[in-house]
Structure 1
């Protein structure tokens, strides 16, 4: 009986192939990692099957999820079950029969055998919704050659570094708006420092950033008056991700008696509706340009619409999915990063030195500058190790059988790749619960070699995250500028924030942080700081308040003052007759 074997060696070797009783050798190099081949042996090796795997029963799974409370912390259940059942175990819940893999080496084995058109996991409820609404399937639902065709159409403008660098100017504008938003919020707080529920503000930043790239226009998500569609989209993201897991596991008959399916459909209607309105607006602009005989110029959406590689239906759903992924990845990762930096002053100070050594003072970092900040990259790697955006990923094998850890699995086996358990493994990352960016710096004593598949926050291969480079540009730009302007501190008495699972990994409670402005030298002081263009410089005499970020005029530091006036009213000075207010001069 022919057996499928898989090679995982980097050295050149030869595969032994039995063809009609004869033997011949085929050269294989490291480029053929994961290549499958067949051989016939006199005593064929006997593999174990899925029925030989241990794992929790259905009753045990229900107990863990709903009695022990792991329904909102399934990422932690990965670690618990790995400790009980080992690196590979079987779990069943409703119609799903899943093989869980919680070892870097075994995850590599699965991915290297996934075939040309890998499938993450089946999403029958997403597919049902799109059939019901007559929509295209998109990258998350489609499969095979159709999926690959769409993926190739979306890739070039999002994954090629020269193309992504073109988005830097608009991202810098969005980051500038974020700084102004942080400044307004902290000045409105009781202590003139605290920004409450930071993640909600970073959601708006994420939406403004990705939409400015996709739609080539600014939506104003970081202004005081938030566009209604922005609020609707952000709310729908949370609803859809929460309801997606519930709807997936509930029997079909419950849809008539429980509200979850109806709310799930409404959330998707809101997501697609917002994206479609923005796309239609861009289509109308292009039509006007074409009718006027003007050349059609633009970035991402213009490219998609003019390339004819995707239908308009496919553009609608693809842009919706890109918006969906761009908002969560950026906001959650930045939230966790700032949370840990606030609690680790030494790491924050080192990051500040890393940024200012490349861009002294408040010089705006360019895309090239960001590549020369190794500690900045290390901070984000450590954050994504501790809080992978997707704590577990799926792989559904359709093209061939798969051998993993001496088990032979048939086609259509659903694998669950437990990234959270692997990235929190002591054998891969010593002291895994400690925030330690230094572990990613090669020149550091603490640096070490970990398995390449123990840390794959954006995936690998053709299924890697299509928006990875844009997300990195947004996060690196935002954090570097925030470090230039602020020292971040925890709020007194703030609790420890644990993650929870909502399809993605998010903070279980609002993150509240204090933003203390830095002087140009990095510390509070009385030295004069050059004011941003268009704003009058602040005088240096006497004790002074912390310097305000670029784009906002700082408040004077002398004399008692009245409370800050509500927005839209001119603040009164605390002494003498009033003069016209220039606070909002741009």
Structure 2
């Protein structure tokens, strides 16, 4: 829980909790701060202990049984909304082996982030960490904290987050996006209804968005396509997407169970999870070997990408060429970037389509601006993006208030908004030790 992480809590004042909570509940409105390395909250001038935070029951196994019996995992946002109404804007909960402190108000969450400094404490995805330990693989940024996390993150930022890096891999992303649009257009012409040029089609975009995110992630990270938009993907591609889907599907239930115990008793759930990760790592290992061969065949190519320096080799190639991380750390980080970037890309896109569908006038404005910007950019995706602020604004707004992190990729804080809910909920999660 947060108490075990060494973060502190302090009161914000009753005026911040104006979401229909009672006076007693408003008094427990808290924000994060570090106070003597202990979790504390202040109310009426008195320091309160972590144990005084309202909770849903002390038995994690009883709570887990209730979650399964009442199918709360499918409607987690509804459960959180009801619990916030009953217990106030902060409560703690233990479900199985997972202990969490849930915070309702954005202002409180903001102060929590501010208190973390340069070394935020990330929730440990224990199933992933257990797999690495059993197989003796190195851990990437998703499974690290402190100085070790920051050191890896600074190296990855240069190849993934900085504007120069984005400009290098944007053409690869654009290539995948255009193929994705052509695939949808072909489906619309084949299965749609209505007149030629004005056909309409209703379908669930989730599987297609998942494949788009996986294809794009692999193209950016490994510098090569895996062919998920092909009418007949290779057997290797089919096995790979099965492994990623299986890994993401088995992660959520394992978050609440002791994975090491499941490993020792050869539980089917754990076996499926570990087998999926093994295939994902084998896939990454093969790409690393290919990248090493390419670098060996072009020793004087340098780090430039583009026409002057050859084709962009992907994040993997850039990291190998720079040589700042060991091959084991590179494999660990690119594998986790690929796995962690699929759902966190597909889900925001799905919510963006949902919101644009609910607001057709905004959708039309975004479409017109994108078409105009693309025509003026002369095929340059970077210039096209700069000329489409409404598109950027749409994505930022979705990221601001929609739950864009699925249960398989829960981080330290995850927004949770239900279809009929207007509250922003955040949960601070960590594994009990």
TM (norm. structure 1) is 0.57
Task: Return the match for 1:275 from 268, 284, 289.
Answer: 284
Q: Tell me the distance in 1 between the aligned counterparts of 2:227 and 2:9.
A: 55
- 1:142-541 aligned within 5 A: 142-189=144-191, 191=193, 193-194=200-201, 196-251=203-258, 253-255=261-263, 256=265, 258-290=267-299, 297=309, 298-299=312-313, 300-360=315-375, 364=379, 366-390=381-405, 394-395=411-412, 417=413, 419-420=415-416, 426=422
Are residue 108 (structure 1) and residue 76 (structure 2) matched?
no
| Residue number in structure 1 paired with 2:431 | none
Gaps of 5+ in 2: 1-7, 13-31, 38-43, 194-198, 304-308, 429-433
Q: Tell me the distance in 1 between the aligned counterparts of 2:401 and 2:11.
A: 31
Deviations 1:160-201 (A, max 9, x none): 113312223232222221222112222332636537442222
| Residue number in structure 1 paired with 2:56 | 56
Q: Tell me the distance in 1 between the aligned counterparts of 2:414 and 2:358.
A: 28
| Residue number in structure 2 paired with 1:449 | none
How far apart are 1:137 and its partner, in Å? 0.9
Q: Tell me the distance in 1 between the aligned counterparts of 2:143 and 2:344.
A: 20
- 1:125-144 aligned within 5 A: 125-144=127-146
- Three-state SS of the structure 2 residue aligned to 1:334 is helix
- Three-state SS of the structure 2 residue aligned to 1:121 is coil
- Three-state SS of the structure 1 residue aligned to 2:225 is coil
Q: Does structure 2 conserve the Cα–Cα contact (< 8 Å) formed by 1:202 and 1:331?
A: yes
Q: Tell me the distance in 2 between the aligned counterparts of 1:131 and 1:427.
A: 39
Q: Does structure 2 conserve the Cα–Cα contact (< 8 Å) formed by 1:88 and 1:100?
A: yes
How far apart are 1:229 and its partner, in Å? 3.4
Q: 1:72 to 1:276 in 2, by over 3 A?
A: farther
- Three-state SS of the structure 1 residue aligned to 2:120 is coil
Q: Tell me the distance in 2 between the aligned counterparts of 1:93 and 1:390.
A: 19
Q: Tell me the distance in 1 between the aligned counterparts of 2:120 and 2:378.
A: 44
How far apart are 1:130 and its partner, in Å? 0.6
Q: 1:275 to 1:86 in 2, by over 3 A?
A: same
Q: Does structure 1 conserve the Cα–Cα contact (< 8 Å) formed by 2:109 and 2:426?
A: no
Q: 1:324 to 1:5 in 2, by over 3 A?
A: closer
Q: Does structure 2 conserve the Cα–Cα contact (< 8 Å) formed by 1:136 and 1:313?
A: yes
Gaps of 5+ in 1: 9-32, 39-43, 396-416, 429-453, 460-586
Q: Tell me the distance in 1 between the aligned counterparts of 2:256 and 2:36.
A: 37
How far apart are 1:115 and its partner, in Å? 4.3
Q: Tell me the distance in 1 between the aligned counterparts of 2:247 and 2:423.
A: 36
Q: Tell me the distance in 2 between the aligned counterparts of 1:7 and 1:67.
A: 36
- Three-state SS of the structure 2 residue aligned to 1:55 is coil
- Three-state SS of the structure 2 residue aligned to 1:47 is strand
Q: Does structure 2 conserve the Cα–Cα contact (< 8 Å) formed by 1:7 and 1:36?
A: no
Q: 1:273 to 1:194 in 2, by over 3 A?
A: farther
How far apart are 1:64 and its partner, in Å? 4.6
Count of aligned pairs between the two proteins? 377
Q: 1:335 to 1:362 in 2, by over 3 A?
A: farther
- Three-state SS of the structure 2 residue aligned to 1:140 is helix
Deviations 1:326-373 (A, max 9, x none): 322222222332234344422221222322343459964632331332
Q: Does structure 1 conserve the Cα–Cα contact (< 8 Å) formed by 2:98 and 2:255?
A: no
Deviations 1:457-501 (A, max 9, x none): xx9xxxxxxxxxxxxxxxxxxxxxxxxxxxxxxxxxxxxxxxxxx
Q: Does structure 2 conserve the Cα–Cα contact (< 8 Å) formed by 1:6 and 1:37?
A: no
Computing the radius of gyration from Cα coordinates, the structure with the larger value is 1
Q: 1:314 to 1:195 in 2, by over 3 A?
A: farther
Q: Does structure 2 conserve the Cα–Cα contact (< 8 Å) formed by 1:386 and 1:423?
A: no
Structure with more of its chain in helix, by fraction: 2
How far apart are 1:133 and its partner, in Å? 1.2
Q: Does structure 2 conserve the Cα–Cα contact (< 8 Å) formed by 1:89 and 1:99?
A: yes
Q: Does structure 2 conserve the Cα–Cα contact (< 8 Å) formed by 1:137 and 1:314?
A: yes
TM (norm. structure 2) is 0.76
Q: Tell me the distance in 2 between the aligned counterparts of 1:198 and 1:5.
A: 42
How far apart are 1:309 and its partner, in Å? 1.3
How far apart are 1:36 and its partner, in Å? 6.5
Q: 1:126 to 1:286 in 2, by over 3 A?
A: same
Q: Does structure 1 conserve the Cα–Cα contact (< 8 Å) formed by 2:227 and 2:237?
A: no
- Three-state SS of the structure 1 residue aligned to 2:94 is strand
Task: Return the match for 2:85 from 71, 75, 83.
Answer: 83
Q: Tell me the distance in 2 between the aligned counterparts of 1:138 and 1:93.
A: 26
Q: 1:288 to 1:361 in 2, by over 3 A?
A: closer
- 1:3-42 aligned within 5 A: none
Q: Does structure 2 conserve the Cα–Cα contact (< 8 Å) formed by 1:94 and 1:249?
A: yes
